[in-house]
């Protein structure tokens, strides 16, 4: 009998592996928390805090304390009711042990305990326990302190009373398992960003974040997040670097068809639309039915008001324009937060709401609130409507500019810019394009590339800062149109708004920004990222945008050993390695690359373009509201906050002396 036949004959029930309890989580952690790098590590904090937020949303918790300890363990403590500790009728264990060691166990699955709950996948704190080398749970209930400890998800002893207390609530401390995670060091900014967001989304809750890891000067830090006005404060925070068209926040908090709805709206003098939507505190970056309902209400209500106002309707008639839904959203910043008992998520990242009943509920709530505001504030209403008319005029001008450029490319033959050195493959999944700063680097890139799969587009002249100009100006800029035409993005497609970017015909799977490793290169990176974030966000959302990482130095020792160093730390390590114990270290030579143009084609390929050896940074939008605020601050007119940001982050960037 052959080995193959023997294997087939022995394939029986004993070959089917059943993963008991939390073993499945440890076996396939990425299925439960996304990944095992920095993102997944921070997800552990979010899952633990979500339990406390559920208590807050149910009305039992007002204060959550999150502490990053010196050993990089994390403690989360709240003043809620405390996880129940009495015996579970079915499993004959303490309810605390069930919650901590059984996947998908917890009060949030019983709608009598929690009407709605956060947490996207519902894996809960048991998942955190499974992925921690050690965890300690303490519950403060009925004057007693109940405790249980765990190692990699398994209880070390039954729940026991370890003391008395006047406190109530739950305290969790966990140590992420370094045999699972590629990093176990928590980043203050990532944790702080989420805690700030949760405080805005849950008005009146105090979240105290403390970092007990001392910095170089021995200092620890603490920040308290509290938003009395909730989403009203959130929308002002997002818009704080913009000029307000109307200083009011149009706000509503209501319940329709059993769905709690909270919305805050502001108009500014900028040209982009910034709508951030949440379901049960989860950032739905792909939108969904709640966003659909909001947009419909905004369009219908403002259009009705404009039609009924003689002065505005006359202005529209005189301009000979037809106003589209997207015109009502130019210069709009809004935050929508709803709570749904049984959310249905879809989309590539499972962050798109699919519940059909939500659209009507949101549309009704926003329509009523907006109608009331417009009626009660005629001066502000007129200003908003005038902004809408200007937006429509600019949109039509943008369409004409775009069509003019497209006609020129048709007459000149082909639809691609002459500067583009395209690749020979026509399979987008295998192709990538480098957006390269300057002709000199562009020449090296064209010579050194893999012509089958790599295209090169040299960018000449100044890249437009799209944050500061109206829409039609963007399509008049040659550099912008070269990028748009090269990558195959289309605007003004039938069935979609003029401003909606359609990336179905995207010609390259990877769009790679390749600029000098200096402050000017970083500035160009930001300008191009702003273009994609404001005009083609789907390119970023679907994971197509990258930044190349050229080396800062070429280091050599006695002309025998050569290494490329991508950071100053790597250069110092090279010098220390080859200078150690040697009296004469003058063979050691470091060449600083001031620009891509200093590298020949072979060097550029070897260091920056070769898929086997290069370092690529993928551009992602983890938190759209935070990204929006940073882009408007970095690229806007307000100088002071930009200066403060650069001073604060200067040590983190490759900024030339």
Query: CB–CB of 486/433 below 8 Å?
Result: yes
CA–CA separation, 26 and 376 (whole Å): 58
Cα four-point dihedral sign 574, 577, 580, 581: negative
268 DSSP 8-state letter:
B
Query: CB–CB of 590/555 below 8 Å?
Result: yes
Burial zone of 570 (CB within 10 Å; 0-12 exposed, 13-18 middle, 19+ buried):
middle
* Residue among 80, 86, 170 at smallest CA distance from 128: 170
- Sequential DSSP letters for 285-305: TT-BHHHHHHHHHHHHHHHHH
Q: Which of 516, 525, 628, 629 is catalytic?
A: 516
Q: Which of 23, 450, 520, 598 is catalytic?
A: 520
State which H helix or E strand residue 396 sits in: helix 378-411
CA–CA separation, 13 and 15 (whole Å): 5
CA–CA separation, 300 and 366 (whole Å): 10
- Sequential DSSP letters for 397-450: HHHHHHHHHHHHHHHTSSSS-TT-B--S---GGG-EEEEEESHHHHHHHHHHS-
CA–CA separation, 272 and 499 (whole Å): 10
* Residue among 59, 92, 409 at smallest CA distance from 260: 59
Measured in degrees and rounded to the nearest 5, phi and psi for residue 232 equal -60, -40
- Within 8 A by CB and 6+ apart from 372, the residues are none
- The structure tokens listed for 82 are 């405390």
Known catalytic membership, residue 629? no
Q: Which of 518, 563, 598, 606 is catalytic?
A: 518
- The structure tokens listed for 595 are 């620009």
Query: CB–CB of 115/341 below 8 Å?
Result: yes
Q: In angstroms, how far is the first alpha carbon of the chain from the final one?
A: 73
CA–CA separation, 184 and 69 (whole Å): 12
Quote the crossing angle between the two packed helices 624-635 and 188-201, to the nearest 10°: 110
CA–CA separation, 354 and 357 (whole Å): 9
Query: CB–CB of 153/21 below 8 Å?
Result: yes
Known catalytic membership, residue 584? no
- The structure tokens listed for 452 are 């089958």
SS3 per residue for 531-586: HHHHHCHHHHHCCCEEEECCCCEEEEECCCEEEEECCHHHHHHHHHHHHCCCCCCC
Q: Which of 437, 467, 626, 628 is catalytic?
A: 437
653 DSSP 8-state letter:
S
Residue with tokens 């002396």: 657
- The structure tokens listed for 85 are 């500790």
596 DSSP 8-state letter:
G
Q: Are strands 221-225 and 206-211 parallel, antiparallel or unpaired?
A: antiparallel
Residue 98 three-state SS: helix
Known catalytic membership, residue 520? yes
Known catalytic membership, residue 142? no
184 DSSP 8-state letter:
-
By annotation, the residues acting in catalysis are 437, 516, 518, 520
């Amino acid at each position: 009998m052959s080995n193959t036949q023997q294997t087939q004959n022995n394939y029986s029930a004993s070959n089917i592996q059943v993963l008991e309890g939390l073993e499945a989580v440890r076996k396939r952690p990425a299925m439960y928390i996304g990944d095992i790098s920095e993102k997944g590590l921070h997800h552990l904090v979010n899952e633990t805090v979500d339990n406390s937020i559920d208590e807050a949303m149910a009305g039992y918790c007002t204060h959550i304390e999150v502490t990053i300890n010196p050993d990089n363990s994390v403690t989360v403590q709240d003043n809620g009711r405390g996880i129940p500790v009495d015996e579970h009728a079915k499993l004959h264990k303490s309810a605390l042990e069930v919650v901590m060691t059984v996947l998908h166990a917890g009060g949030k699955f019983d709608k009598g305990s929690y009407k709605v709950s956060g947490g996207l996948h519902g894996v809960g704190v048991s998942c955190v326990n499974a992925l921690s080398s050690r965890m300690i749970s303490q519950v403060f209930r009925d004057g007693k302190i109940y405790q249980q400890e765990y190692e990699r998800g398994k209880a070390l002893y039954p729940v026991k009373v370890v003391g008395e207390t006047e406190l109530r609530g739950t305290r969790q401390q966990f140590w992420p398992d370094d045999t699972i995670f590629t990093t176990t060091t928590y980043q203050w900014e990532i944790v702080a960003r989420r805690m700030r967001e949760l405080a805005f989304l849950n008005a009146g809750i105090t979240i105290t974040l403390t970092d007990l890891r001392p910095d170089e000067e021995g200092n620890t830090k603490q920040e308290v997040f509290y938003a009395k006005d909730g989403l009203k404060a959130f929308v002002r925070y997002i818009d704080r670097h913009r000029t307000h068209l109307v200083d009011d926040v149009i706000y509503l908090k209501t319940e329709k068809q059993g769905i709690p709805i909270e919305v805050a709206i502001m108009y500014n003098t900028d040209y982009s639309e910034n709508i951030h939507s949440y379901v049960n505190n989860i950032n739905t970056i792909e939108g969904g039915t709640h966003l659909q309902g909001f947009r419909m209400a905004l369009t219908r209500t403002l259009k009705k008001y404009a039609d009924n106002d003689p002065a505005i309707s006359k202005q529209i008639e005189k301009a000979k324009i037809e106003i589209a839904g997207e015109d009502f959203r130019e210069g709009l910043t809004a935050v929508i937060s709803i709570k749904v008992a049984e959310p249905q998520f879809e989309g590539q990242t499972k962050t798109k709401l699919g519940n059909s009943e939500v659209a009507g509920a949101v549309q009704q709530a926003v329509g009523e609130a907006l109608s009331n505001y417009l009626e009660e504030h005629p001066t502000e209403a007129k200003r908003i409507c005038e902004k809408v008319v200007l937006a429509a005029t600019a949109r039509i001008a943008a369409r004409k500019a775009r069509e003019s450029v497209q006609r020129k490319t048709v007459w000149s033959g082909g639809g691609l810019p002459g500067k583009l050195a395209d690749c020979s493959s026509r399979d987008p999944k295998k192709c990538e394009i480098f957006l390269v700063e300057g002709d000199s680097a562009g020449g090296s890139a064209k010579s050194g590339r893999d012509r089958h799969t790599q295209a090169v587009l040299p960018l000449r002249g100044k890249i437009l800062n799209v944050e500061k100009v109206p829409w039609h100006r963007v399509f008049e800029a040659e550099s912008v149109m070269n990028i748009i035409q090269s990558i195959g993005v289309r605007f003004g497609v039938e069935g979609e708004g003029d401003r909606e970017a359609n990336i179905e015909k995207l010609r390259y799977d990877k769009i790679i920004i390749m600029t000098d490793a200096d402050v000017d290169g970083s500035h160009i990176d930001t300008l191009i990222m702003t273009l994609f974030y404001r005009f083609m966000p789907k390119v970023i959302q679907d994971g197509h945008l990258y930044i190349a990482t050229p080396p800062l130095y070429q280091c050599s020792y006695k002309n025998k050993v050569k290494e490329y160093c991508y950071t100053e730390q790597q250069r110092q390590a090279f010098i220390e390695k080859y200078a150690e114990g040697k009296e004469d270290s003058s063979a050691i030579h470091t060449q600083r690359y001031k620009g891509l143009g200093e590298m020949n084609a072979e060097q550029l390929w070897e260091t920056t373009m070769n898929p086997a050896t290069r370092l690529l940074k993928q551009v992602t939008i983890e938190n759209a509201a935070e990204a929006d605020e940073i882009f408007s601050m970095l690229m806007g007119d307000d100088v002071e906050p930009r200066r403060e940001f650069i001073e604060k982050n200067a040590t983190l960037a490759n900024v030339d002396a």
